[in-house]
Amino acid sequence: MRKVENLGRPAIFTLNPYVPGKPVEEVERELGISGVVKLASNENPLGPSPSALKALEKAIARVNSYPDSNCFYLKKDLAAHLGCREENLIIGNGSDELLKLIAETFLEPGDQVIFARPSFSEYEFVSKIMGANCTAVPVKEDFAHDLETMAKQVGARTKLVFICNPNNPTGTIVTQEELRAFIASTPPDILLVMDEAYYEYVTDPHYPDSLQLVEEDSNVIILRTFSKIYGLAGLRIGYGISRPEIIALINRAREPFNVNLLAQEAARASLKDQNHLKQSREMVVEGRKYLYQAFDRLGLKYVPTQTNFIFVDTFQDSKEIFTALLQEGIIIRTGDIFGYPTYIRVTIGTRRENERFIAALERVLNSRR
């Protein structure tokens, strides 16, 4: 009998499976504690919009039926919300699925894919699984994308360029001027994927209006999500925006019924609740200020962020800090997985959660000094 290892495609053995942040339930079960605070996965601690919860209650009796495979009504609402056409939209089982669909649609073995490092690990994952060659360009000293170097890496086999804006895990942005300069310096036939999962949190006026690129018929795909500020991470729903010809190609690779009925209804209701969006954004802006002051007081280095998380240098082994904070009932993300072993990534929580995190972090740091 042939060994199972010999059955797998060679590309499979190049992959490092994604390791998600620890769930609250797992930590409480393992440590025998309760009241654990999770600040590891950039979720909205306010939860979903009350309107979304009502929509879920109303829709739950219909789960015996298959969902609308085309997400007709959600696309209609999204198009009105964004000011684009419904043909510009594709809905996915989270933007993670859309990343995989993009790779399946456009990449062939030997194609080149370019992205920053550190950045979202799924870019490399979906590219390698299709047999593409990955070029990871280190971020600059200020942790921003080095677009000039990325442009210089573009070659004859370059197919996709991923730009995470704002970037995960650094929280930095690519500005309108930088993005336009990058596009002007690269061939028009490459596909530019703008991952804007955190764009609703951005307050910097220099953040680009990427929808203009779609209107200009550029080869750009914008990815956004309902997982972050809308608080629907557990329902898995995201969307892509591009010119209709690109969307039509990606739809060829999409499975039918890929977005469940409850997710569609919750997303539609969330779009209409701008007050929940405003409250969520204000909570993060206030949380940034509080955490910046606390980190300054503790003598820690951090990257100013345009997201709902902060990348912080503890000047110590982040895995040991992680373990010690777990004992305090706080879950954060270690920086070693991003190539920065002394950094941690912490989600901005409610005021109470932020205060509890800082108190726990201070105890941990003091005990180690």
pLDDT in tens, 276-326: 999 999 999 999 999 999 999 999 999 999 999 999 999 999 999 999 999
Question: DSSP letter string over 247-259?
Answer: HHHHHHHPPTT-S
Question: How many Å apart are CA 52 and CA 39, to the nearest integer?
Answer: 23
Reading the block at residue 288, the tokens are 């940034």
In the block, tokens 């409480």 appear at 28
pLDDT of residue 19: 74
Residues of the chain with CATH 3.40.640.10: 50-272
Looking at the DSSP bridge assignments, the partners of residue 108 are none
Identity at 354, one-letter amino acid code: N
pLDDT of residue 82: 97
pLDDT of residue 9: 85
In the block, tokens 């007081």 appear at 297
pLDDT of residue 1: 66
Which segments in the chain show pLDDT lower than 50? none
pLDDT of residue 13: 83
* Nearest alpha-carbon partner for 71 in 265, 234, 286: 265
Quick check: 315 and 300 in contact, CB under 8 A?
yes
Residues of the chain with CATH 3.90.1150.10: 18-47+275-368
Tell me how far apart the terminal alpha carbons of the chain are, to the nearest angstrom: 57
Quick count: other Cβ atoms within 10 Å of Cβ 205?
Answer: 7
Q: So what's the architecture of 50-272 in CATH? A: 3-Layer(aba) Sandwich (3.40)
Residue 355, exposed/middle/buried by CB under 10 A (0-12, 13-18, 19+)?
Answer: middle
18-47+275-368 sits in which CATH class? alpha beta
pLDDT of residue 368: 79
Which helix (H) or strand (E) segment holds residue 117: the answer is strand 112-117
Looking at the DSSP bridge assignments, the partners of residue 346 are 310
Query: C-alpha angle 198/113/154, rounded to 5°?
Result: 110
pLDDT of residue 260: 98
Q: Does pTM surpass 0.75?
A: yes
